[in-house]
Structure 1
Amino acid sequence: MKLVRHLANLGYGSRKQVAWMFREGRVTDADGEVLYADDAVAHDDVRIDGEPLDPPPGMLAMLHKPVGCTCSNKDGGRLVHDLLPPRFRLRKPVLSTVGRLDRDTSGLLLLTDDGSLLHRIISPKAKLPKVYEAVLAEDLRGDEAALFASGTLLLESETVPLLPADLQVLESRRIRLTLHEGRYHQVRRMFAAVGNHVLALHRSRVGGLALDGLPEGQWRLLEPADRERLFSVADSVR
């Protein structure tokens, strides 16, 4: 692939705009030598205005999503993509969220431009555990943990019972819930089914990955070791 097309696919601009960057001498190698649009140079050796390129295709990132951001362009308000470099919206392949967290839920959100990786993560076969912490409107009645673990709970308007889920009581109205599937508004609907209401919801872990101190609203690239850790929990129970 020509360098001009590669940079355009990374979101640095249209091919015409990227071509002007070459003419202005803004694209160089790691040693500062000016590059040309048809040069064949490794991704890691290219600099724009002296800065390394954004991640190549196949990237996986973690974002600490704050309350108030949405994962869909169809929803109004602030988007999770607003927390990322603006160029990321123009990448080809498209950078997509791996599943969704609703506007009122905070926590760990994954993003990738690798379609096969995305489907591997969200596939029911993966059974990656997802850990949520919630604040409830009412005290627990006492039988929720057994019901959630039974694999018999049927949500309203659904015909397939939920997979067993693990409920840990932290305080009378604070819980930690581990799921092995990802149905629409699942945590909120589970507590609605037992007559309670979720006031605040936060996802702290997906698979073997946790936020590990990543500040709210910040993101970071995931390295190969992170990817291995992501699937390590599911692999260990097979």
Structure 2
Amino acid sequence: MSLLRTLANLGYGSRREVQALIAAGRVTDAHGAPLVADTVSVHAEVRIDGQPLDPAHGLVLMLHKPRGVTCSHDDAGPLVYTLLPPRYRMRKPPLSSVGRLDRDTSGLLLLTDDGALLQRIISPRRHVPKTYRVELAEDLRADAAALFASGTLLLKGERTPLLPAALRVADPRHAVLTLREGRYHQARRMFAAVGNHVLGLHREGIGALQLGDLAAGAWRPLAADEIARIFAADAAPDGVARASVQSRA
């Protein structure tokens, strides 16, 4: 692929704008030698204003979504994509969120331009576990953990029971919930089904990948070994990870 097309696909501008960057001598190799538009260069060797290029196609970002921000390209209000450099919103293929967190939920959100990887993560057949920290309005029912793990809980308006989910209770109003499916507002509806209301919901892990200490609103690219962690907890047979419920009041 030509340098001109590569830079345009990475969002550095339209072809005309990229051509102007090249003509101005701002695009060079790693040694500072100017490059021309039809150059076919090794991605890692290209510099713009002395800086390495953004990652090539296959980019996966970890973002700490703050509350009040929407996972959308065009809804009203603050959007997750505005937390990224403007050129990231011009990449081809585009960056898409891997699933969604609702406006009032914070925590780990993945974005990628790799459609196959996106589908692999969200596929209902893979049951990739997602872990949430939950703050509740009322004390938890004593049987909540057992009910969530039973595989019999039926949400209002649905006909199929939920898969078993693991609930670890930290204190009567704080818990950690691990889900292996992604129904609409599932965590909030589960607690509503046991007579409670979620005050705060924060996703801290997907598979074995953890958000860690990444600040709210911050983001970073993931390395290949980190992407592999998404599926590291996916190999356990049904009924092993799902049934691991601990409770302490």
**TM-score higher than 0.5 here?**
yes
Tell me, in whole angstroms, the C-alpha distance in 2 between the residues paired with 1:124 and 1:41. Answer: 40
Question: Following the alignment from structure 1 to structure 2, what is the Cα–Cα distance between the partners of residues 75 and 99?
Answer: 16
Query: 2:111 is matched by which residue type in structure 1?
Result: L
Per-residue deviation, 1:73: 2.5
Who is 2:63 aligned against? Answer: 63
Looking at structure 1, the residues matched to 232 and 154 of structure 2 have their Cα atoms a distance apart, in angstroms, of 29
Shift of 1:75: 2.3
For 1:8, the aligned partner's letter is A
Q: Deviations over 1:42-67 (max 9, x none)?
A: 11110011110011001111011111
RMSD: 1.0
Q: For residues 1-20 of structure 1, what are the structure 2 equivalents within 5 Å?
A: 1-20=1-20
**Aligned mates of 2:96, 2:112 — CA distance in 1:** 6
Map of 1:194 onto structure 2 = 194
- TM-score relative to the length of structure 2: 0.93
Distance 1:202 1:229 in 2: 19
**Aligned match of 2:120:** 120
Per the TM alignment, residue 3 of structure 1 is displaced from its structure 2 partner at its CA by 0.9
Mean CA deviation greater in 213-222 or 199-208: 213-222
CA distance in 1, matches of 2:39, 2:164: 55
d(CA) in 2 for partners of 1:149, 1:74: 37
- TM-score, normalised to structure 1, is 0.97
Residue 148 of structure 1 aligns to a residue whose secondary structure is helix
Report sequence identity in percent.
Answer: 62
> In the alignment, does 2:66 pair up with 1:50?
no
Residue 72 of structure 2 corresponds to 72
State the AA in 2 paired with 1:84.
Answer: L
Question: Is contact 2:72-2:81 (8 Å) kept?
Answer: no
1:225-236 correspondence runs (5 A): 225-236=225-236
CA distance in 2, matches of 1:237, 1:93: 35
Give 1:236 shift: 4.2
C-alpha displacement at 1:154, in angstroms?
1.1
CA distance in 2, matches of 1:225, 1:212: 16
Equivalent residue runs for 1:108-187 within 5 Å: 108-187=108-187
SS in structure 1 at match of 2:176:
strand
- Any runs of at least 4 consecutive aligned residues in structure 1 with deviations exceeding 2 A, and if so which? 235-238
Task: Report the AA paired with residue 51 of structure 2.
Answer: E
Unaligned segments of structure 2, at least 5 residues: 239-249
* Aligned residues between the structures: 238
1:94-113 correspondence to structure 2 within 5 Å = 94-113=94-113
Say yes or no: does 1:223 pair with 2:223: yes
* Consecutive unaligned residues in structure 1, runs of 5 or more: none
2:230 counterpart SS class = helix
C-alpha offsets along residues 127-166 of structure 1, whole Å, 9 cap, x if unaligned?
Answer: 1111001110111121111111111111112121110001
| Secondary structure of residue in 1 paired with 2:21 | helix
Q: Give the Cα–Cα distance (whole angstroms) in 2 for the partners of residues 201 and 117 of structure 1.
A: 26
**Residues 145 and 166, structure 2, Cα contact 8 Å, conserved in 1:** yes
Which residue in 1 is equivalent to 2:242? none
